[in-house]
Structure 1
């Protein structure tokens, strides 16, 4: 399966694992890369030296390409970028910030840069900033999300019409059928988060993994738009947020309720009541916890089977 994305990253399949906070450590990234996709280490939940450790361990665990996902709203961004350069990482996905800030710096070091966007406007800005590709993330996605609430399958063709660089679809994709549908609409590849969160190699707490496979349609919701929109499983913390909204709170009151380390508490430490449980709508189709290699193989197998069926018509 060769196309612009497999050539860009030198990988076998145009499948990128989402660089999720508290979930995407070196074990998951290396497993996905070894299976033929592109694994990403999620730097958003790592102190700089922890990131360095994960990069070094990933390099020992795979001889295949892998990258680092960097949300630019987090602190220590300069240290993180310096470590990425020092450790010889060749692929960086940026998000939650202006792509102009770091794209030239990274590309001058021989690093391929991809930026995550949630609208046509931001896709065009990313292209103008010189990124090598964009990830178009729709409303269905877990974690931090766009305010526009544009769904993946409407966003892909709109962006594809406007940009000349490769387009990677994200949000609500976790099966071979979903991958094929995204590519029919114009995507050159897909980025998959939630399905890889529920894998053996994911660094998520077992409580959170079990919650993922229990989630049904309607069990997640996009909230906290005043801060940074995030899709959460409906739990006690989510209900507390909704009760606060009834009182028409100030921004400071919302921040006070959120506090610090809510996502770590939920996804990494396994507190299913007080923690943020970030996951996408596709969780309603996730029914088991498997090795990342098996997940990727199943996605590609289904993609090929459905494509062959469609091609017959």
Structure 2
């Protein structure tokens, strides 16, 4: 007769022994990511313009994650200053995110190398081969974004050292495919380099599910944007706390002749005025008042400076409040270390429940 297996009920708090075993399992699942990043946790921070600067980046790295400076439109001298200021606040690893369309991309890569930055994230399109080669020849590891399996394979052939697959749930500029689908398309077929998942991640148990599918770690942005160490305006942060997932929507395009780059953010007066602005510009184009090129520029320039207004000045009504759908999981303004601890605890508790179910079924 098979002996009865004694198990704890699923709702009972984990014992110290259970948590220790689960934590070892979690660390094992994260090992490829932590080895690559050189961190305690396989948690990569999304690079967010106006938000991912020295204070937040150093706080994330000091808490065991991997902070990433958002270079954006910075000039080389300005980036060098930001790297130096960040290094003065942490002795832990951090990276720099560079936009591939930046006219001084190779100079920015050189700035990173001269400053001893070990990881360079190339975002905003397929990175030029020259930039990848320059970074790798200088001793840095290169991370790039793969929105499809065919591009993931191409990037690996180009020499990138790791990939991020980011779903449409993410905040800011997004693609059309959810992380759930991207993970199924890419993770089973890519093992040559670590793959970090991104988009809609707000809990550790959700990240755990992707680690079990083969991901090396996760990238989070929205949770960190509302962190206590973030320099974002308090109005910006508390808008996150009040928001629901359904409030984070992508920008709407009224006419296919005038493309609008999809950007996910919180719906507000600015996003409503953008629709009116598009309609007005299109009407003036159809009436012959403006050319097609002039109309496209008017539409594109509507949001000029809007992200800074929201993040720095706290104009959350007419500014661009970029946020992912995980904004509904932001319940309070928390220190970075507390956010990371919550993520790890949630993953550990999920592993304990998983083990109890398996024991019960056995």
Q: Shorter-chain TM-score category?
A: over 0.9
Give the conservation status (yes or no) of the 8 Å contact 2:105–2:131.
no
**Structure 2: runs of 5 or more not aligned:** 1-26, 254-258, 283-291, 358-362
Between the aligned partners of 1:224 and 1:129, the Cα distance in structure 2 is 34
Q: Which position in structure 2 is the counterpart of 1:138?
A: 167
> Cα–Cα, structure 1 residues 204 and 75, in superposed 2: closer, same or farther, change >3 Å?
farther
What is the TM-score when the length of structure 2 is the normalising length? Answer: 0.81
Alignment of 1:72 with 2:103, yes or no, is no
Q: Does the 8 A contact of 1:213 with 1:286 survive in 2?
A: yes
How far off its partner does 1:161 sit?
2.5
Tell me how far 1:254 sits from its aligned partner.
4.8
Contact 1:118 1:136 in 2 (8 A): yes
Where do residues 206-285 of structure 1 align in structure 2 (5 Å cutoff)?
206-223=234-251, 226-246=259-279, 249=282, 252-259=294-301, 260-285=304-329
What residue is the counterpart of 2:18 in the other structure? none
Match of 1:16, SS? strand
TM-score (norm 1): 0.93
The runs of at least 4 consecutive aligned structure 1 residues that moved more than 6 Å come to none
Q: Which of 171, 178, 186 is 1:159 aligned to?
A: 186
Residues 82 and 227 (structure 1), Cα distance of their counterparts in 2 relative to 1, 3 Å cut: farther
Q: Distance in 2 between matches of 1:211 and 1:74?
A: 31
Structure 1 residue runs without a partner (length 5+): none
Map Cα deviations across residues 35-80 of structure 1 (whole Å, 9 max, x no partner): 1111111111534333222211221211111111112234432332
Are the equivalent residues in 2 in contact too, given 1:231–1:280 (CA < 8 A)? yes
Q: Equivalences for 1:37-186 in 2 at 5 Å? A: 37-44=65-72, 46-99=74-127, 100-146=129-175, 149-164=176-191, 165-186=193-214
**Cα deviations by residue, 1:193-244 (Å, 9 ceiling, x for unpaired):** 0000010111222221111111113212112662432112111221122234
Cα RMSD after superposing both structures: 1.9
Residues 114-169 of structure 1 show CA distances to partners (whole Å, capped at 9, x for unaligned) of 102222232222112111110000010001111xx211112112111232321100
Helix, strand or coil for the counterpart of 2:245? coil
Supply the distance in 1 between the matched residues of 2:73 and 2:239 (Cα, whole angstroms): 20
Correspondence 1:199 to 2:230: no
In structure 2, the residue corresponding to 1:82 is in which secondary structure?
A: helix
